[in-house]
Structure 1
């Protein structure tokens, strides 16, 4: 069976979509699964053994580009896909499988997609509270899974593959020695400082970890470079020697490999959090106004710290530098306790 998936455009969503691919392969071992997604997703899709081919979606996030989508769909007809799964909820995301003439086109009802999808599901959100559950439910015939309780347990969570030799070679590229084990920090967040644990808390934790014999590596995009420098400059001179700011210096492929090389990861609610979870690293995830009730880190080795409940749509926190008070209130000592417990558990395993 040949399957086309129209994948998500966000890092976290792309990671969670792997649970659908794993489930499809478990249900249909002969399936060939191709995923169409933005080109930047290729480093993630290439590490998902269930994915046969990553197809680049060349169109921007907001572009309808009807004629271009028609051209893309027509170009896929020779592949003779039997099924398509459309994960985004937009009208335009359903166009390529329709134009490709794929016989069965499955997805949740979204933005006026009647006709474009001929296996259109109506989502009962309370019945499937997690995004990953909503993805996995699409793998089964319509009506078979009426709630998350009907899904086979345990769910097949995302798992990226990284080879040991890749870790060693990539660490050497960035002059990360084996002298000290690495703790990764992911101090950025897509929607600004309200979702970030304060840089001074990260610095205090880094100081404790360095004193305990670790080195700290800071991950993120170029937008997170400044935050990483704030963390480094808050450390004493001896501490800065063992704190490496790689935000903006690594490609996504390299960041994935280096995260796999970490002994543990401390992170905000971000796409890198979901990557670290899929690499099965001991993980402490720090939440403020965003909620782990919908998109938690999918790993038995993850610990979530959050001091408030509910979802709060906040783009700028009420405290100094735009931080949210609930994240300020998470003290470095609390994070260190969770991290120490995870590392001890890892050593015993």
Structure 2
């Protein structure tokens, strides 16, 4: 059986989609699973053992590029795919499998995709409250899965595989200390400061952790570089904090996160990567909600002081922070992390 997945275009969604790949491989051990996604996804897909091949989607997110999608689909006609599973809900995301003439084309109805998909599912959002459940449901026949209660339990959560040699080589490449445990900070967020824990809280937490004998490594994209610098400037131990935001490739960031003793993160794609690496994780939530896309790990602790979903792109407080995140004090994050590490160490010794 050969399956083509049209994958998501966001880091967190891509990580959650691995649950689908793992489920398909469990159900069909001989299946060959290829994933078409933006080229930046390749480092993640390469660490998913269920994925046979990563195929770069040459069309930018949001672009129709009908002619280019047609040529791409036509080029796949001889690949022998038995089924395509389309994860994004857009009409354009269903075009390549249609043009490729893949016999079975599965996905949620989305943007009125009748005809493009011939195994179309009508989504009851209350029946599948989690995004990961909506992905995994597509691994089964439509008549067999009507709600989350029908899904086999437990779900196969995302699980990246990183070689220990790659962790060691990347730590050496960035000249990080091999004597001190690494606590990773992921202070960025895709939609701006309203989803970010304040830099001054990260700085205060860094001080508490450095005094416990840790080194702090800050992860993120180039646009998170200034946040990382601000954290270090406000810390009382700047020499024990290393800002790698914008300085690593995605592959290097994954290798380093895999080598962390623990990770503290905003609601972000890197948070989902840390969860998939099975690192002890403290996830800090404000206006966004963990009810739909929580970190999928038994070693994750979520801190959130409000309920419900709040569509806020910029908070009303200084620097655009949301008050609910300001209210999460560094001492609470520190205590939560210490309890989490103690629990993980106890479990490991049993």
Q: Same fold (TM over 0.5)?
A: yes
**Would you say 1:20 and 2:20 are equivalent positions?**
yes
Q: Deviations over 1:172-196 (max 9, x none)?
A: 1111011210000000000000000
Aligned residue for 1:304?
302
Aligned to 1:137: 137
- SS in structure 2 opposite 1:22? helix
Partner of 2:277: 279
Query: Is residue 87 from structure 1 mapped to residue 90 from structure 2 by the alignment?
Result: no
Report the counterpart of residue 330 of structure 2 in structure 1. Answer: 332
SS in 2 for 1:126: coil
Structure 1 runs (4+) greater than 3 angstroms displaced: none
Distance 1:61 1:216 in 2: 34
CA–CA separation in structure 1 for the residues paired with 2:166 and 2:90: 37
Partner of 1:51: 51
Structure 1 residues 277-326: Cα deviation after superposition (integer angstroms, max 9, x where no partner): 00000000000000000000000000000000000000000100000000
Q: Which blocks of at least 5 consecutive residues in structure 2 are unaligned?
A: none
Residue 101 (structure 1) aligned with residue 101 (structure 2): yes
Alignment match, 2:187: 187
After superposition, give the CA deviation of every residue in 1:134-163 in whole Å (9 maximum; x if it has no partner). 000000001211110110000000000011
> Deviation digits for residues 56-103 of structure 1, max 9, x if unmatched?
001011111111101000000111100000000000000000000100
Matches of 1:310 and 1:326 in 2, distance apart?
12
Aligned to 1:162: 162
Query: Could you say which residue in structure 1 is the equivalent of 2:230?
Result: 230
User: Which secondary structure does the structure 1 equivalent of 2:144 belong to?
Assistant: coil
1:174 lines up with 2:207 in the alignment: no
Residues 210-266 of structure 1: CA distance to partner in whole angstroms, max 9, x if unpaired?
011000000000000000000000112xx1111000000000000000000000000
Separation of aligned partners in 2, 1:30 and 1:298: 26
Deviation at 1:347, TM superposition (A): 2.2
1:295 matched to which residue of 2?
293
Q: Which residue of structure 1 aligns with residue 254 of structure 2?
A: 256
Name the counterpart of 1:314. 312
Instruction: Give the aligned partner of residue 211 of structure 1.
Output: 211
Local SS of the residue matching 2:265: strand
* SS at 1:125 equivalent: coil
Over residues 190-210 of structure 1, what are the superposed CA-to-partner deviations in whole Å (9 max), with x where a residue is unaligned?
A: 000000000000000000000
Specify the SS of the correspondent of 1:89.
coil
1:6-52 deviation per Cα after TM superposition (whole angstroms, max 9, x unaligned)? 00000000000000000001111110000000000000000000000
User: Per-residue deviation at 1:346?
Assistant: 2.5
Q: Which runs of 5+ in 1 are unaligned?
A: none
Tell me how far apart the structure 1 counterparts of residues 112 and 145 of structure 2 sit (CA, whole Å): 23
SS in 2 for 1:267: strand
Q: Distance in 2 between matches of 1:12 and 1:144?
A: 27
Q: What is the aligned residue count?
A: 347
